[in-house]
Structures are given as structure tokens and as C-alpha cells.
A and B are shown apart, each in its own frame.
Chain A
Amino acid sequence: MSNYKVPTMAELAASGESPEILFWVGCAGSFDDRYKAVTQAFVKILNKVGVSFAVLGPEETCTGDPARRAGNEFLFQMQAVANIQVMNGYNVKKVVTACPHCFNTIKNEYPALGGEYEVIHHSQFLQSLINEGKIVLKGGGDFKGKKITFHDSCYLGRANNVYEAPREVIKALDIELVEMKRCRTKGLCCGAGGAQMFKEPEEGKKDINIERTEEALKTGASAIAVGCPFCLTMMSDGVKNKEKENEVKVFDLAELIAKDQGLS
């Protein structure tokens, strides 16, 4: 058997190839120790299924999302225009990303700056692989008979109306999905959006991730599934704060699939 491959756009271009999809890794996926595991899990799934993909590798830079949301439009556009030049240079047509913030920015905000791509969140991509029979789930694995809850990320849900794809992925695993009271359009933010990830919260009586974690714990689920690197951090911190990290785990959807497939 051969090793997993992670080709870059530059390597493929050098040999005259162009992949079907660009996997946009994002900063959290590249640098955050916890989220690197998600990136790796997703890449293993892509290898296993035989999807023609590549990453930008060292050529990728931040989409600019937090800069724009913190009000620094100059910095956002500097990032965006540079990224668009790179992507257009490789003639990218289709982008898949595991980060709803990157997803939203590239899908909705890059077109105004000359970057027009078909952009897919990894939950949607995984759902289509399952529907097409390219991923055949073994069913439950470690989670068999346990409850799992899904935390909607704002930039996937309200921002882009993606509510069902992540749920379909979870249901395909044959695990019992229990909803929090505030879900789908009424989902409560984890507290990290709008560049909050990069600063301490304003003065208040509680942190938002604690409020949301309490709600997730109330469902009695033994795992909290997310589809966003920031939500993963915030919910993991919340579970730790509640000293429940031994009983309740926080996973990304890609990790659930990779586990089921025996890839991790």
C-alpha cells in the first residue's frame, strides 16, 4: 500500500495536472493543534475515496474574514485580492473547505473582487460522498447507541442556510441525534464569530461558550459535533470549564466519518 498523498497546486501544475477540487485548509486547519487533526482526517477521507484534490500549502493565506469583521476593510481586501490572484492563477473552479468562515468569505465575498468559484463546505461534500455511495458507513462505531448533538455554526447556518447537510452526515452514521433547544435558525453562537475568536469578550455576566456548552450538556449527549474550527475550540473550552471533558467529547464531522471508516 502507498502512503496518503497531499499534493499542492504548485506540484500538480508543474506536472501539467489540475485537480478537480481545491481543499482550502484555512489558518485554524493549518496551525491550530486540535484542528490539524480535522484537516488530516478530511485529507485521509479524500485519499480513501480517491477524490482528485490539491491544497495551496504554503501559498495559502488567511481569507481576511476576521479583518473584515473587525472593520479593517483594507487588510481584508489585501488578503482577498492576493488569494484570488493565486487561485485564478491555478484556474481554480471548485473549492472545498472545513471552515464556515472561509466558506462564507470565498463563496459570498470574493466574487465582488474577481474570485468566482463553486464553494462547498465539507459537511455538504461529505453528504454528497455518502449519497453517491462513495463513502459506505459502517454505522456508529464507538458511538453506537449513544447520543450526539450538533452545534450549528452561524456562518454555515443563518449566514448561508446550510442546516441539513451536517445533520444528514450524522444521521448516516446511525447515531441518535438529539437537538439542543436553540438549533437551526435559532442556534446560539459559540461566541467566536465576528473576530471575537481573537480577543477577550466584553464585560458581561457569562461567556457565550459557557452558555452554549451548558445547553449542549443538557441534551445528555456524549458527543458534541461541530463543523467549524472556532466552534470546536469554544465548545471544547466550554466542556473543559464544566469539567466534563472525560464524559463529553467535541468532534468535527470529518473526524466522525474518519473514525467510522477506521482512518484515525
Chain B
Amino acid sequence: MNILPQVIFILVFAAAGYVLYKRISFLKRNIFLGKAETRNDQSSERWKTMALVAFGQQKMFKRVLPAFLHLLVYVGFIIINLEVAEFIIDGIFGQHRIFAPLLGGAYTFAMNFFELLAVGVMASCLAFLIRRNVTKVPRLTMTELKGWPALDANLILVIEIILMVAILTMNATDQLLAEKGTEHYTALGPLFFSGLIKPLFVNMSEGNLIFVERFAWWFHIIGILGFAIYVTYSKHLHIFLAFPNTWYSNLKPKGEISNMPEVTNEVNMMLGIPTEGGNEPPAEIARFGAKDINDLSWINIMNAYSCTECGRCTSECPANITGKKLSPRKIMMDVRDRAEEVGKSIDDGGKGLEDGKSLLGDYISKDEINACTSCNACVEACPVNIDPLSIILQMRRYVAMEESGSPAQWNAMFQNMETSFSPWKFAPSDRFNWAESVKDEEMK
């Protein structure tokens, strides 16, 4: 028995595993360039959120058609990968369809079901390609997607279609060989979808059939391993990160902006209120707000890596709808791209965060963050609970407190609040004047 295929398989598998390990370490390190933040409270609520939003696709269904198409790909991805388990066992032990004799009729049923899913995945991917390239759904063709993001999206769809073609080709040729009584090949019950393409191969010689079948088998398994590696370079990472990302969702009311305790200490000192840590001046504070990715929380950066650039956020953003520069999706893409840049620089022995660039300024402009109405439409729209607003507000904090660089009208508003205790310039003593006329009126 020729064990060469087994050796090659194990080597390919191990190599893919090693590359994946390196890629995951790279991504993990990049995410943890962000500041530490503990968000482990309410764990039962977190598991529930993850089950509903990530596993159950709950928020996808706000838009029914894409949700249905996406569900087909998602279910296909999860279930067809059960077959990959068989591929791996077969590959390592030099077997073929090791579960077929064990499961009998159930195996044929499963194969038919997988083929149905494969056809569903192909149909969905085709529909997605049409939405991106023919009907040009606005949120899928915006300027921030020009170049790599658009190519990335199309590549993923094409790869998925090719992988599904490989499955059907493999099943069709495999069964033709079994019918011919070729050694190793097991005859199953009728397979519907691959049965439809059998006529394409029926005139081939046994040798050619074996070649096509083996090619499709190897193509599929290597394709899947390659795809797993590709995903780590792609927006498609959401297939894994959606799960931790939803687990670490913000469970507080969306309107609540997190407190800055380091500011509270100073405010209390100024007002002469005793603080918990005594009235000692606080230790040097690194920076108020966020200028670069290391000022953000690691959860913000994980959010960025979880973004699959669907643009539901941007399509609901009032600023974007009315033509302002702000796009919540672009904010997330910028955070990820900056994290990638810094990560690569560190690995290459470069300057990393000290490269003279920063997220705010080189990637995101003040015009973008200033246009936000903090309306939470983007947060509500995100199918995996990404929070672009949190990042925007942290950058506004940097601009206001470190640079005093807020728009002039905001600075005037700050001044009014400091002097008149109202954002408008009214005399504080006039605050209660509205009551005069009411008090003079007889009650009806």
C-alpha cells in the first residue's frame, strides 16, 4: 500500500496548523494592544446574548432577504464541515468514506443533505455576488470598500462556490467509480445533486475518473485549510470572532457613556470632596481619551477584527445618510487596519506605535468623529454587536481634553456651561423665570 498520500496529507495538515497558530498569535497580540478591560459580569446574560445574536443570527433578520441567504451559507458552513472530519480521518489513515459502512442508509441520507446544503451555499454566494457586482446594493459598493475590501468579499464568495463544486464533482466521480467496481470506492444510495452532473463524467476512463475524484478530494481539503488561513487575513474572521464578540457585548443601556474614574478623582479634589484614594494627586495619567489603538480597550479592537464590513451600520447612520464623511463601518476598518500596521511593524522590528502615525489624524479625521449624533443607530444595526460609538466618543475625549481642539462652537458651549451652567448663554438667575406666568395663572 502506498503511504505517500497519507504522509503528504499529514504534512499539509501540520503545515496549515502551524501557519494558523502563527496567524492566531498575531491577531491575538494585535487585539491586546488595546487597554485591559474586564467585562465578565452577568455571565448567563452573556451566554444568552451569544446564543441568540451569534449562533441564532437574531439581528441578521432585521433584513430578511440577506438574512435568509446568509443563513444558508452559515448552516452549510457548519454542517458541511462535519464531512471534513471524515476527510481528515480518511486522509490520515488512508481510508475512503470510513463512515459509509458504519452508517449505511443514514450515510447516504447525510450525503444528500450535505449536497442540498452545498447547492444552497452556491445559490446564496451567487446571489451575494450579484448584489455586490450587478445590482450594486449601495452599502456594499461605498467608497471605503474600494480596492482590497471589495476584492476580499468577491474572493470569499468565489472560493466558497469553487469548494462546493469540488464536493459535488467528488461525489459524482466517486459514485461512477463505485458503479464500475473500482477498488476502495463504496457504492452509496442515489445522490440527487451530484447525480445531476454525473453525465459530465460518464464517458471518462477509469484512470481519468480516479484523477478527477482524487483531485476534487485534495482540492476540497486543501481548499478548506487554505480558506481557514485566508480568513485570518480577511474580513471573514467574523465567522469565529462573532462568538467572543457577542459574549463581550455591552450589556448596559446604550445611552450610557462609561465614566472616567481618573477624572472623578481630580474633580473631587477640585471641589474639595474626599475621594476613596485620599486627596493624593493621582499618578501620571497616560492620556485622556484615544488617539491611537493602544488608548482603546481590547474589546474595541476585537470589535474591529469581528467586522465583516456589511455596512448595515453606515446605511443607518444619520450623518452618513445625509452625506457627511462619517461612516461607522470605516471607523471599524480603520481601527483594524491601524492594529494590523502596528502589529506588522512590531514583528518586523519596526517602530510599532511610535511610527509617527496615529489612528486619529492618519486614519480617522476630526470631521468624521464630529459628525456623530451619538444616536446608536450603528450599534443597534450591527448583527454582531459591534460598538463604533464607543470609539468615536473616546476620540472626542482626546480632542477635547488633550488638544482643546473641539469645534469652536463646542468650545463656546463649554464656556457657557462653565460660566452660566447651561449650554446656552443665559443668566443662571433667569433659570426659574418660566414659572412666573404659570404661578400667576388660576388653576383650571
Give chain A's interface residues, CB within 8 Å of chain B. Answer: 1-6, 8, 25, 27, 29-32, 36, 39-40, 43-44, 47-48, 55, 57-58, 60-62, 64, 66-75, 77-79, 81-82, 85, 104, 107-109, 112-113, 154-155, 158-161, 185-186, 188-189, 191-208, 210-212, 262-263
Contact = CB atoms under 8 A, between A and B. Distances in A.
B434 A194 contact: no
Given A29-B434, A198-B409, A208-B319, A73 B417 contact: no
Among A6, A107, A195, A201, the one with the most B-chain Cβ atoms within 10 Å of its Cβ is A195
22 contacts: A3-B442, A6-B435, A39-B434, A40-B438, A48-B443, A57-B435, A58-B432, A67-B423, A71-B397, A72-B401, A74-B263, A113-B264, A158-B379, A160-B253, A188-B318, A191-B373, A195-B410, A196-B373, A201-B322, A202-B319, A202-B324, A202-B326
B318 A208 contact: yes
A211 B375 CA distance: 15
B418 interface: yes
A25 B435 CA distance: 11
Contacts of B270: 78
Contacts of B323: 203-206
Nearest to B257: A68
A211 B380 CA distance: 20
Among A5, A39, A77, the one with the most B-chain Cβ atoms within 10 Å of its Cβ is A77
Interface in B219-273: 252-257, 259-260, 263-264, 266-268, 270-271, 273
Contacts of B400: 70-73
A56 to B, nearest CB: 9
A251 B398 CA distance: 38
B373 A36 contact: no
Interface string B413-434: 1100110011110101111111
A100 to B, nearest CB: 8
Contacts of B263: 73-74, 77
Given A204-B319, A204-B323, A198 B413 contact: yes
Contacts of B372: 194
A192 B373 contact: yes
Contacts of A192: 373
B407 interface: yes
B443 A69 contact: no
A108 B423 contact: no
A36 B431 CA distance: 11
A6 B431 CA distance: 13
| 7 closest residue pairs by CB, A with B | A159-B255, A194-B374, A205-B323, A71-B396, A71-B400, A61-B421, A204-B323
A205 B440 CA distance: 47
Given A2-B442, A70-B406, A40 B437 contact: yes
B321 interface: yes
A79 B435 CA distance: 23
A79 B430 CA distance: 18
B417 A75 contact: yes
Nearest to B405: A71
A184 B421 CA distance: 33
Contacts of A159: 253-256, 376
A53 to B, nearest CB: 12
Given A47-B443, A72-B406, 19 more contacts: A1-B444, A5-B439, A31-B424, A55-B432, A58-B429, A62-B417, A68-B257, A73-B260, A74-B401, A104-B255, A104-B256, A107-B253, A109-B256, A154-B374, A155-B255, A160-B253, A198-B410, A200-B409, A205-B323
B413 A71 contact: no
Contacts of A66: 413, 417, 423
Nearest to A153: B375
A6 B289 CA distance: 42
A189 B322 CA distance: 11
Interface string B165-182: 000000000000000000
Nearest to B268: A81
Given A74-B401, A188-B318, A199 B375 contact: no
Contacts of B271: 78, 81-82
A200 B37 CA distance: 35
B100 interface: no
Contacts of B396: 69-71
Contacts of B370: 199, 202
Given A204-B324, A211-B322, A3 B267 contact: no
Nearest to B264: A77
B432 A199 contact: no
B409 to A, nearest CB: 4
B422 A71 contact: no
A161 B252 CA distance: 11
B376 A154 contact: yes
Contacts of A29: 434
B414 A75 contact: yes
Contacts of A36: 434
A48 B438 CA distance: 13
A199 B396 CA distance: 15
A31 B421 CA distance: 12
A30 B255 CA distance: 23
B316 interface: yes
B161 interface: no
Given A48-B444, A211-B318, A263-B444, A78 B267 contact: yes
Among A25, A112, A202, the one with the most B-chain Cβ atoms within 10 Å of its Cβ is A202
Contacts of B255: 104, 108, 154-155, 158-160
